[in-house]
Amino acid sequence: MTTADSTRTSGPEAPGGPAEPRSNDRPGLRTSGDRAAIARARLEKVITHLLILVGVVLSVFPFYWLAVMSTSTTAQIFGYPPRLTFGTSFAENLRNLFSSVDILSALVNTIIVSALCAVLVMFFDSLAAFAFAKYDFPGKNALFVLMIATFLIPGSLSLVPSFILMSKIGWVGTLQALIVPGAANAFGIFLLRQMASSSIPDELVESARIDGAGFFTIYRRIGVPMMRGGLAFLGIFTFITAWNDYVWPLIVLVDPNRQTLQTALQNLNSLYLTDYGMVMAGALVSVLPLIGVFIIGSRHFIANIAAGAIKG
């Protein structure tokens, strides 16, 4: 073999010989396209975080502004330019609030009504939803369609018939008139029925039946744990709705000593002069429990969403 042949055979292009690593394959080296892709990904991440930050600021700012106004006087609230820092009149506004209305009694009444409405709605709606989703009975489809049709009826149309009914049974001016009519609703049944249909396997329910479990046993041991996320959302939604309800308590609670928080705060508005600092302090008192309920309930709701995402 000649020297030239030996050189060609031992070169980088010789069959079976070790090829020299190209510059693109060397560790630690990236092409311009890779660097551009990494830069684009970082830019997209920065933009995403900025948009999230803007959304958080826009969501939190109304609560911050409410807190600022609750510590200010009426003149400071309407001053120009508006103040974005806390004032020194919060204690005075609270004293005026407690001296103007029985805010503690109204707060207790609202907590009782909202909590009982949330518990009853979660119980009755989940029972009906579980039955609609996993059991067959005569008239099931017709009843479900009839229930869905109630969405078409505006709630304001039921105010007069509901008041007449409460008057007939002697519940006008009592908290029962707020709790019992709100013990179940079509929205919650529809929501939980859709969740139960997709998240609870029919085989699991059938195996429980074969083992001799009754309806309430299956509902308690299978239905409730599988619908926990929907129940958390429905409980939060119902509690907030009952807490913020104004029209129906204003109509049915004729006793001034039995008022909810929203109707009590309405009494702070005067025909000629309104102390807006006091009104904002009352609004802050009414908002703080809702924030606490949302923080407590959202833990179960978010945990259930995360568990479902992992299973998916």
Predicted TM-score of the model (pTM) = 0.77
Mean pLDDT for 43-53 is: 91
Tokens of 281: 């302090």
Place of tokens 């998240």: 199
Domains of the chain: 101-267 (1.10.3720.10)
Burial per residue of 73-105, b for 16 or more beta-carbon CB atoms within 10 angstroms, e otherwise = bbebbeeeeeeeeebebbebbbebbeebbebee
Question: Which position has the token pair 């020297």?
Answer: 3
When pLDDT is averaged across residues 268-284 and rounded to a whole number, the result is 79
Spatial distance between the Cα atoms of 111 and 261, rounded to a whole number of angstroms: 9
d(CA 294, CA 301): 10
Q: Per residue in 62-97, pLDDT tens?
A: 888 888 888 888 888 888 888 888 888 888 888 888
The answer to whether 273 touches 201, Cβ cutoff 8 Å, is no
Token digits for 191?
A: 């929501």
Supply the mean pLDDT for the chain. Answer: 82
Could you read off the pLDDT of 104-128 as tens digits, one per residue? 888 999 999 999 999 999 999 999 9
Q: Residue 29's pLDDT band (boundaries 50, 70, 90)? A: low
Residue 307: pLDDT above 80? no
Residue 99 predicted with pLDDT over 60: yes
CB of 67 within 8 A of CB of 93?
no
- Measured between alpha carbons, how far is 248 from 143 in angstroms, rounded to an integer? 27
